[in-house]
Amino acid sequence: MATQIITLVGVLIGALTSYLATAIAERAKFRRLIATRWDERKLDTYIEYVSCIKTIQRAAMDAGRARDQRKDASDALAEMEESENRRSVLFETFVLLSNEKAATAAHTVNQRTWELLGMARIPSSGMAELRSIPLVEALNVLHEAARSDLTISGHAPAQ
């Protein structure tokens, strides 16, 4: 009888150990899956936000170039304004998903973007005035912060 009880206790301990090991492994797997999903969402948001900023910058430069050539800048300005509206919405998602360093860098990018928008909206602004706004430098800082947040090593400066 005693050997049967010892065997039964051994089986119960083995089953409990197996259950706990499986539960811990499944919980860790679930956490990794959730973290990966958020990282994918974060990466998509970062890419979309930076792409929108680049569209704003390109449209503003197109407007400045058109003015320098004494051409109509209205199409470029319309594209710039449309992208600014999209950037505004994307920024909220960016801040919700990012860490503090990336959010701070994005705030700086917003400031430089607003400077660019303000300058581009002035009818006499050409390429020289628009190029003086350090948006690319602010984007480089944002890229670094985003890579850090996503734990991506290595980098190449923005062009």
pLDDT of residue 148: 93
Q: What angle do CA 95, 90, 34 make, to 5 degrees?
A: 60
pLDDT of residue 108: 98
Q: Which residues, including other chains, have CB under 8 Å from residue 136's CB and lie 6 or more apart?
A: 158, 159
Position with higher pLDDT, 109 vs 40: 109
Weakest mean pLDDT among 30-39, 86-95, 130-139: 30-39
Instruction: Give residue 7's pLDDT band: very low, low, confident or very high (50, 70, 90).
Output: confident
Given a cut of 70, whether residue 157 has pLDDT beyond it is: no
d(CA 68, CA 125): 8
d(CA 59, CA 116): 10
pLDDT of residue 29: 74
Structural domains in the chain, sorted by start: 37-149 (1.20.120)
How far, rounded to the nearest angstrom, does the alpha carbon of residue 79 sit from its chain's CA centroid? 22
Q: What is the mean pLDDT of the chain?
A: 89
How far, rounded to the nearest angstrom, does the alpha carbon of residue 144 sit from its chain's CA centroid? 11
